[in-house]
């Protein structure tokens, strides 16, 4: 059977995006191959797609001919639309009877204000559906050959945001350090010096390995590995910045081992 036919079969019986409904859909971390079939089916059905700035053009190109694309990151020439404006826009479009797709990077419920958006929809009485996506934190580690959990090394993994780390009342980094479990940080580049300092002050060994995975799963991907003490300075020196995932902990060391073994038996890790 042709691949296209197989997909057609697979896609029959998928839910229908009805007029007046809003679907909040994760587009994955970047690589179109990491888009889910549900996301694909949603993109094909929408007549308006309100999307984040970082969505790959090849994903947006899947939209139907008559569909309108609106970049929520840059609406009305503004550098960034306020969250309340985006939520209001979704409600407004649904009330006009459109089939509305809110396409978000990664997973809609991980650090992307998707929670706020569904609250606003529910409050306004708009029927909605949420479709999960592959989150950048998990895909980023895979892309960097870092096992997110490793038997004998960690029993948990902490997904955290670095946003607000410079504000009072932010995360208790010392408490996170004390768990001994690896951290996977989103939006952490701006405050990385501060975060590293706070983790070390909280008892994390300065030699703990860390990695920055920039633009994970895209052709601009860059991976930097250094210890937690040096990672922020090294990222600056090598101009490795947002959007990036920062991984901290012993799991990062497994990357080196894995790549070393793979290099000895060349071509084991197929890119
Ligand atoms: N909902 C998204 C996260 C939104 S917050 C998800 O589940 O992935 C935005 C942050 O996600 C960025 O600051 C960055 O830390 C991370 N991010 C998103 N895409 C990324 C990518 N391709 N590579 C590395 N980090 C990414």
Q: Is 178 helix (H, G, I), strand (E, B) or coil?
A: helix
For residue 102, whether the previous peptide bond is cis, meaning omega lies within 30 degrees of 0, is no
Q: Is 75 helix (H, G, I), strand (E, B) or coil?
A: helix
Spacing of C-alpha 19 from chain mean position: 28
The reply to whether 52 belongs to the active site is yes
Catalytic residue among 56, 104, 187, 214: 187
Q: Is 61 helix (H, G, I), strand (E, B) or coil?
A: coil
Catalytic residue among 8, 74, 119, 220: 74
The reply to whether 56 belongs to the active site is no
Burial code (b: 16+ CB inside 10 Å, e: under 16) for 36-48 equals bebbbbbbebbbb
Bridge pairing between strands 209-214 and 222-227: antiparallel
Q: Closest ligand 1 atom, CA of 104?
A: 1
Q: Hey, what are 215's tokens?
A: 């633009």
Q: For every one of its 271 residues, what pLDDT tens digit does the chain have, with 9 covering 90 and above? A: 677 787 777 777 789 999 999 999 999 999 999 999 999 999 999 999 999 998 999 999 999 999 999 999 754 455 567 888 999 999 999 999 999 999 999 999 999 999 999 999 999 999 999 999 999 999 999 999 999 999 999 999 999 999 999 999 889 999 999 999 999 999 999 999 999 999 999 999 999 999 999 999 999 999 999 999 999 999 999 999 999 999 999 999 999 999 988 888 776 666 6
């Amino acid at each position: 059977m042709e691949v296209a036919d197989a997909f057609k079969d697979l896609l029959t019986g998928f839910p229908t995006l009805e007029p007046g409904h809003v679907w909040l859909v994760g587009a994955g971390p970047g690589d179109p191959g990491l888009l889910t079939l549900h996301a694909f089916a949603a993109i094909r059905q929408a007549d308006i797609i309100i999307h984040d700035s970082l969505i790959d053009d090849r994903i947006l190109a899947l939209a139907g001919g008559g569909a309108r694309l609106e970049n929520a990151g840059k609406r009305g020439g503004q550098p960034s639309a306020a969250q309340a404006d985006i939520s209001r826009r979704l409600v407004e479009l649904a009330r006009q009877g459109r089939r509305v797709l809110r396409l978000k990077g990664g997973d809609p419920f991980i650090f992307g204000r998707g929670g706020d958006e569904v609250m606003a929809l529910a409050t306004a009485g708009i029927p909605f559906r949420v479709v999960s996506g592959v989150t950048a934190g998990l895909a980023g580690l895979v892309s960097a050959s870092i096992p997110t959990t490793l038997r004998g090394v960690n029993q948990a993994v902490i997904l955290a945001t670095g946003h607000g780390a410079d504000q009072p009342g932010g995360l208790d980094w010392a408490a996170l350090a004390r768990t001994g479990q690896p951290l996977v940080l989103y939006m952490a580049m701006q405050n990385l010096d501060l975060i590293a300092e706070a983790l070390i002050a909280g008892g994390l060994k300065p030699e703990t390995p860390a990695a920055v995975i920039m633009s994970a799963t895209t052709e601009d991907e860059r991976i930097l590995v250094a210890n937690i003490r040096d990672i922020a300075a090294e990222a600056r020196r090598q101009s490795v910045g947002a959007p990036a995932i920062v991984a901290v902990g012993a799991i990062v060391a497994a990357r080196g081992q894995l790549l070393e073994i793979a290099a000895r038996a060349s071509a084991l890790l197929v890119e």
